[in-house]
Amino acid sequence: MAVKRPVEERTGTFAPEYLPAVIELRNVVKHYGKIKAVDGVSLLVGQGEIFGLLGPNGAGKTTMIRMLITLTRPTAGELYVAGYSVAGRPVEVKRRIGVVPQQNNLERELTGRQNLLLHALLHKIPGPERTRRIEELLAYVGLQARADEQIQRYSGGMARRLLIARAMLHRPPILFMDEPTIGLDPQTRRKIWDLIQLMNREGVTVLLTTHYIEEAESLCHRVGIVDYGRLIALGTPAELKASLGEVCAEFLGSGGTSRRFFPTRAGAKEYAQNRDDDVTVRRTNLEDVFVELTGREARELSSG
C-alpha cells in the first residue's frame, strides 16, 4: 500500500509522489463496555510523514495510538506498523517504534542520564554504542548540562525533551507522540516543534495527537480530524481549509459568532460591504475547519 505524497507546505517543494505506508489501520473498532471509542477507522500514514490526529476530548485519538503501540487490543479490525501485524508480531513492532506518552513516566528519583541508560539496557544496546547514543541524544535535545540532575528537578519542558531522547535511543524509524507539548509555555512548545521537524528531516515518521490547532497547522503534512471515534476529515492543512473556502468573513450576531467562507478575498469583502454590522475578513484556518465539522470551538479541545 502507498500514500500519495503531500506537498511540503513549509518549503513549497515536492517530494516523490507516492510513499510506502508504514502505519495502517483497517476498519478498526474499539469498545469499552457500551462505549465505542473507535468506530471503524481506516487510515494510512506514509513513510516520512508528520501526521496529526486532531479531535476533542474522548474522540478516540489516544485509543488509536495505544492500539498501534501494542498496549490495547482492538475489538475488531487490523493494525500494521512497519509492515508487521500489531496483533501477530508485537515484538517486531516494538523494535521499530518510539513512544512519547502524554504523561511523564520518567523515573523521578533517577537522573536524566540514568533514565536513558535504563532504557538502553532494556533495549540491549551494547556498551560503547550505548554511551555514544546517550551523549548524542542529550546534546540533540539540549540537556547535556542538566543530564546528571534528578528528574524531579526538571521543568515540564525539560522532561518532554528527555522523553523524546528516550524514545529515539534505539533509533526507531517511527515515532508516536501523544500530546507532545501539552501544558508547555509557547517558547518551550516551539523548541519541541523544532525537535520534531529535525527528526522528521532525518527520516523519522511521526504520528502525533494534539489539541493545539497551530501545532497541527505548523507541523503536520496531513491531518486527520477525529470525532466520536470516527475519522471525519483527512488531508493536508491546505486541502482541509480549501474545502471550506480560502477566505472567512466573521461577524458577531445575536446568536454568537457566525462565519461565511469564500474562495476569494474579493467575494468575502463584497459580502462584508453589504452587511450593516462589523465583519472581519481573514484567511481560513484549521480551527474553522474543526468548528464547522464538529460544532466545537478549539478551546474546548483536550486530550482524547
How does pLDDT run across 253-301, given as a tens digit for each residue?
777 888 999 999 999 999 988 888 889 999 999 989 988 888 755 444 4
Check: CB of residue 37 under 8 Å from CB of residue 65: no
Give the pTM: 0.88
Confidence check: pLDDT of 185 > 60: yes
102 in any annotated domain = no
194 in any annotated domain = yes
Instruction: Give the DSSP letter of residue 146.
Output: G
Domain boundary among 220, 236, 252: 236
103 in any annotated domain = no
User: Residue 259 sits in which domain range?
Assistant: 241-300
What's the number of domains the chain is made of? 3
252 in any annotated domain = yes
Q: Do 86 and 176 belong to one domain?
A: yes
For 34, residues 6+ apart whose C-beta sits below 8 A from its C-beta are none
Looking at residues 211-229, what average pLDDT do you find?
A: 91
Q: Which of 133, 194, 139, 215 is nearest to 168 (CA)?
A: 133
pLDDT at res. 266: 94
What does the pLDDT look like over 32-47, one tens digit per residue?
A: 999 999 999 999 999 9
10 in any annotated domain = yes
pLDDT at res. 299: 42
The terminus-to-terminus CA distance of the chain in angstroms comes to 28
Check: CB of residue 24 under 8 Å from CB of residue 80: yes
Question: How far, in Å, CA of 205 to CA of 49, rounded?
Answer: 5
Question: How far, in Å, CA of 269 to CA of 274, rounded?
Answer: 9
Looking at residues 207-221, what average pLDDT do you find?
A: 91
pLDDT at res. 252: 87
The average confidence (pLDDT) of the chain is 89
Domain boundary among 236, 263, 282: 236
For 244, residues 6+ apart whose C-beta sits below 8 A from its C-beta are 261, 284, 288, 289, 292
